[in-house]
Amino acid sequence: MTGADIVLEDVTVTFAGRAVPALDRVSVSVRAGEQLALVGPSGAGKSTLLRLLLGGVRPAGGRVRVGGLDPFATQQVRQLRQFTGYVRQRDDLVPGVSARTNILMGQSWSWRMPDWWAVARGRVPSRHAARLAELAEGHGITDILDERVENLSGGQRQRVALARALLGDPRLLLADETTSGLDPVNAARAVADLTSVEGATVMLSTHDVSLAGRFARVVALRAGRIAHDGAPPDARETELIYAHGS
């Protein structure tokens, strides 16, 4: 599998009522298959950047390409989302159904009628069975697959959301504060799982500098601008990035 390259050229994103841009003339290039951590204080622009890559927010200026596709062209963003796994800061699991069904729904865009019937009857389509079992075991959620997601803890919900994003072995994996609701052991396991998808391009947004240090490349945002791009920042650089918030 080949990952998806990412190109942002002089990108600015503004929101009504906000005095300063959420992203201010940001330029970043990510090679296909590269894995990096995105760090910075709250409000620095990390979530905005990830949403931008899937067409969730539109830039006021600049150019965005993901896997050669334009996220703001209707047909192209549909293609883009088919090979992308995205874990939001606040999970968007579907209430009233089981953890198993929520994980499977990550691939519902590809289902045909037999798949829909199988899931509706509480079964797992055969093409997803082995991968789902592997993810459930790896994330320690095998015993809660039959539970409705509204009955799960925040950490359990986050692990279900992560398993859903990984089910299709995506070429591009975007994770927004995925580890925030997890204990240190499971946070480290989540990072290991994110980086284990062979060939995938991975971007993990995190406040946890120690987890970011597991990546060879770290991009730090501060007040919507690139404050660091390279090897994990040292203690002094980290202090400057996070000083006085965004």
Number of other residues whose CB lies within 10 A of the CB of residue 188: 16
Return mean pLDDT, the chain.
88
Domain residue limits at 11: 6-83+170-242
Pure H helices in the chain: 46-53, 74-82, 99-104, 113-120, 126-138, 154-166, 184-194, 209-212, 235-242
Cα 156 to Cα 38, 183, 213: the distances in Å are 23, 11, 25
Q: Starting at the edge strand that comes first in sequence, how are the strands of the sheet with 225-230 ordered?
A: 84-87, 172-176, 201-205, 35-39, 217-222, 225-230
CATH number for position 214: 3.40.50.300
Residue 180: the pLDDT is 75
Q: Starting at the edge strand that comes first in sequence, how are the strands of the sheet with 6-13 ordered?
A: 23-30, 6-13, 61-66
With respect to residue 109, please indicate whether it lies within any of the assigned structural domains.
no
In sequence order, which residues have a C-beta less than 8 Å from that of residue 169 and are 6 or more positions away?
A: 1, 131, 197, 198, 200
How far is residue 172's CA from residue 50's CA, in Å, rounded to a whole number? 11
SS3 of residue 192 by DSSP? helix
With respect to residue 225, please indicate whether it lies within any of the assigned structural domains.
yes
With respect to residue 114, please indicate whether it lies within any of the assigned structural domains.
no
With respect to residue 31, please indicate whether it lies within any of the assigned structural domains.
yes
On the question of pLDDT at 1 being above 70, the answer is no
Question: Between residues 126 and 73, which one has the greater pLDDT?
Answer: 73
On the question of pLDDT at 191 being above 80, the answer is yes
How far is residue 133's CA from residue 15's CA, in Å, rounded to a whole number? 42
With respect to residue 40, please indicate whether it lies within any of the assigned structural domains.
yes
Residue with tokens 């945002």: 221
- The count of structural domains within the chain is 1
- pLDDT mean over 10-21: 91
With respect to residue 179, please indicate whether it lies within any of the assigned structural domains.
yes
Asked if 6 and 174 count as a contact pair (C-beta separation under 8 A), the reply is no
How far is residue 192's CA from residue 82's CA, in Å, rounded to a whole number? 23
On the question of pLDDT at 246 being above 60, the answer is no
With respect to residue 148, please indicate whether it lies within any of the assigned structural domains.
no
On the question of pLDDT at 144 being above 70, the answer is yes
Q: What is the pTM of this model?
A: 0.86
Give me 154's structure tokens: 């925040």
How far is residue 205's CA from residue 220's CA, in Å, rounded to a whole number? 10
Residue 244: the pLDDT is 64
CA 198 to centroid of chain Cα atoms: 16
Give me 30's structure tokens: 């990510």
With respect to residue 99, please indicate whether it lies within any of the assigned structural domains.
no
How far is residue 94's CA from residue 108's CA, in Å, rounded to a whole number? 13
Residue 46: the pLDDT is 94
